[in-house]
Amino acid sequence: GLTIEVYDIGNEIDFGILNFRAGDRVALPPGTDTNENMDYMRTNVWSIEATLLKSAIRGVRRADPAGKIVLHAAGLGISTNNNFINTFFQFMNEQGVDFDIAGLSYPYRHFHPMPKPYFGTLEFANTIKLLQALGKEVIVSEFSYPNSSRLEVGTLDPGYPFTPDGQAAWARDFRAMCLNLGI
């Protein structure tokens, strides 16, 4: 009785899929920073991935021509000015990967500590605008907020204490920013 409308082709695939990742099936030269070396990622990881994605998406489109396709990426906030994630989506678009929605994982605070919430940064807003300029809808596919006062999974954003009111304020402000950006 369920109607499927959106198909997420892989989870957090900007680093590669099906073991076609740097250091797995794809050789990684010593000293190569995959978060910053976009030529390496284009040539060695994303070109293979684009071929696999196009095949998978053709199969989904045959089964459900009205379905929307999401490419879900994790690299938000890992490189200067989001060069990694922006280049990933631009490359997939240039390669003719037929997707409708850019799905983003909101950065985990313990990986990306910042003096303010990431959703309030110009970097976040600029990435959303770039993806929209590619003609893609943008969604936040995944995010983390600390769920324990022991803060075992991350740290709190400044100004949002670990209280029901603090969490509610964070969720309201995050939602407001997303709506302001059109996501």
pLDDT tens digit sequence for 74-127: 988 888 899 999 999 999 999 999 999 999 998 876 666 677 888 999 999 999
d(C-alpha 47, C-alpha 161), whole Å: 43
Q: What is the reported pTM?
A: 0.91
> Is the model's pLDDT at 160 over the cut of 80?
yes
Backbone angles phi, psi at 101, to 5 degrees: -130, 135
Backbone angles phi, psi at 71, to 5 degrees: -105, 120
Give me 116's structure tokens.
Answer: 């303010």
pLDDT of residue 18: 79
> Is the model's pLDDT at 72 over the cut of 60?
yes
Closest CA to 160 of 148, 150, 176, 145: 145
Residue 90: burial class (beta carbons within 10 Å; 0-12, 13-18, 19+): middle
d(C-alpha 175, C-alpha 132), whole Å: 18
122 residue type, one letter: L
Please give the C-alpha separations between residue 126 and each of 73, 85, 106, in angstroms, as whole numbers: 16, 12, 15
pLDDT of residue 111: 61
Please give the C-alpha separations between residue 120 and each of 114, 115, 135, 181, in angstroms, as whole numbers: 11, 10, 23, 11
DSSP element (H, E) containing 21: strand 20-21
